[in-house]
Amino acid sequence: MNVWQARILHALEERKRTQGYRVRQVAEQNDHCLNFASNDYLGLARSPELIQAWQKGAELYGVGSGGSSHVTGYYEPLQQLENQLVKWLGYERAIVYSSGFSANQALIQLLIEKDDWIIADKLSHASLVEAAMNSEGSFKRFAHNDLDSLKRLLSKIEHDKAVLTITEGVFSMDGDEAPLQDIQISTQRNQNNWLMVDDAHGIGIHGKEGKGTCDQYGIHPDILIVTFGKALGVKGAAILCSDLVAEYLVQQSRALIYSTAIPPAQAYTLLKSIEIVQKADEQRQYLQDLILYFKTELKILGIENQSNSPIQPIIIGSNEESLRVSQVLKEHNIWAMAIRPPTVLANSARIRMTLNTNHTQENIDHVIGALRHAFGG
């Protein structure tokens, strides 16, 4: 066995030992289950409207872009998508990337130079944390949603330093929201401090016309990240920003310049998705009603959380116990995954349950019954 094999084998064995080993499951094999694991909050991923839009886009433009957006990949639907995002979300420019992970990585990699600072919420997404750790700047994390912790860190940084303060609109594992108004006030005290909000799980769900968590709280961060693989039901992401930042990305972002652009059929579909989301007030209200019902029923079981979003975590603690509960749910034909460290903090393994507009109160009653069985109630 060579050194590469030994190193990899050790890492895999350690992951198994701590009950953190991940196994991918073919989704179609769970089609008989109630899906409480998807981020498709508005149920658009399999909607007839988006399927038809994708088919039409493929007929018009084919199934691939054929190159970078700097070469042959900047088809008219992609241009229209960026323009529609600008109009919808109120920014000067939008630059589309293939995923939220790549958008976050690209932006931080490009913006942050030596002597700059990144101050991020402790529970920020892995894409943000990894990019910050690999950047040339200094990186500190403030306690989750803790304004005093944020202010203490900011007070120690010289005012002539460039600072990027990062948080999320809705946190992906806990489903709670950042105190965005207070965070923006804290960052506005220094013109060299830019606020970046990743609203992957808030766009389409919160705010007027589904504009997201920032709109709900009445703020306008310097940089907004939105993704298309959750409430919008497709895939991809965009950075919303000023003309100046957008031009910097177009000229310098390696992830943009050297990656194949999203297929024009995908962009064509996303145009339809945004149109649907903007008019989905009834669906958003229905989803909020389901969330309230679910939380009320959980509370009767003695389970409480701070989430008012479709993400409803059931914190268990140990990896082994979270896997057991997930298996009990599966035996009741409910698909809900056990989320374990390092995705979440140590000793906070959980069942991450997500609600969407395809669910009914009867579905939730079935889940509550299965949870009662799992916890011996």
Same domain, 147 and 265: yes
Residue 129 lies in a domain: yes
Same domain, 90 and 175: yes
Task: State whether residue 354 is helix, strand or coil.
Answer: strand
User: Which DSSP letter does residue 258 get?
Assistant: T
Domain count across the chain: 2
Domain end: 259, 278, 297, which one? Answer: 278
CATH code of residue 203: 3.40.640.10
Strands (E), 148-236: 163-168, 193-198, 223-227
Residue 242 lies in a domain: yes
Residue 294 lies in a domain: yes
How much is the pLDDT for 202? 98
Same domain, 107 and 245: yes
Same domain, 220 and 186: yes
How much is the pLDDT for 26? 83
Please tell me whether the peptide bond between 342 and the residue prior to it is cis, using omega within 30 degrees of 0. Answer: yes
How much is the pLDDT for 306? 83
Same domain, 263 and 188: yes
How much is the pLDDT for 28? 65
Same domain, 152 and 179: yes
Note down pLDDT in tens along the chain; length 377 residues: 899 999 999 999 998 988 888 888 887 666 688 999 999 999 999 999 999 999 999 999 999 999 999 999 999 999 999 999 999 999 999 999 999 999 999 999 999 999 999 999 999 999 999 999 999 999 999 999 999 999 999 999 998 999 999 999 999 999 999 999 999 999 998 899 999 999 999 999 999 999 999 999 999 999 999 999 999 999 999 999 999 999 999 999 999 999 999 999 999 999 999 999 999 999 999 999 999 999 999 999 988 888 999 999 999 999 999 999 999 999 999 999 999 999 898 999 999 999 999 999 999 999 999 999 988 86
Same domain, 115 and 182: yes
DSSP string for residues in 40-83: -TTS-TT-HHHHHHHHHHHHHH-S---SBTTTT---HHHHHHHH
Same domain, 350 and 235: no
Same domain, 285 and 274: no
Residue 6 lies in a domain: no
How much is the pLDDT for 23? 85
Residue 216 lies in a domain: yes
CATH code of residue 287: 3.90.1150.10
Domain end: 278, 308, 326, which one? Answer: 278
CA distances to 96, 104, 187, 302 from 238, rounded to whole Å, are: 4, 9, 23, 39
Instruction: Give the active site residues.
Output: 39, 125, 168, 172, 198, 201, 230
Q: Which domain holds residue 154?
A: 48-278
CA distances to 22, 168, 170, 291, 306 from 178, rounded to whole Å, are: 29, 6, 7, 18, 11
d(Cα 324, Cα 326) in Å, to the nearest integer? 5
d(Cα 49, Cα 34) in Å, to the nearest integer? 23
Side chain identity at residue 312, one-letter code: Q
Same domain, 101 and 243: yes
Of 193, 240, 217, whose CA–CA distance to 90 is shortest? 240
How much is the pLDDT for 171? 96
Domain end: 225, 246, 278, which one? Answer: 278
Here the tokens at position 187 are 């960052």
Same domain, 314 and 187: no
Residue 120 lies in a domain: yes
d(Cα 171, Cα 166) in Å, to the nearest integer? 12
Residue 1 lies in a domain: no
Same domain, 30 and 56: no
Residue 152 lies in a domain: yes
